[in-house]
Amino acid sequence: MSKTIKVAVPSMGKGGLDAERSSHFGRCDCFSLLTFDENKKFVECSIIANPPHVDGGCMAPVNLLAANKVNAIVVGGIGGRPLAGFNSVGIEVLITDGDFVKNVKENYEAGKVSPISSDFVCGGHH
């Protein structure tokens, strides 16, 4: 059986490839889960709802995505606490350009994503 890679993209509305990316993963409407094969070829897109964001609730999406066997999340920015949370459950945090989920898919296939560095950590989320 081939190994698949599941990449979460914080999304607005109903999610999916045509959905707009959310700039704040804790407040996104849902996560579009992009599945790729070991050669970075796109396999499918599925959607999971994001639980409501509450104070201190940054770990809720971390636990949700870990439970759904996500390997990586592509964000526009992230706070230090959720970054540490994703790292602690083995979910790689990546960054790339693009306003829509399909842009993330194309960038991932083309190898145009990179691990997020502490330089990108948002203030006020520690």
Looking at residue 121, its pLDDT comes to: 60
Nearest to 83 by CA among 3, 44, 35, 26: 26
What's the first-to-final CA gap in the chain, in angstroms? Answer: 40
Residues 21-59 pLDDT 10s: 998 877 889 999 999 999 999 999 999 998 776 655 667
Q: Name the nearest CA neighbour of 92 among 77, 119, 70.
A: 70
| Domains contained in the chain, CATH given | 5-122 (3.30.420.130)
pTM here?
0.89
pLDDT tens by residue, 74-96: 998 788 888 899 999 999 999 99
Task: Return the percentage of the chain with pLDDT > 90, whole number.
Answer: 65
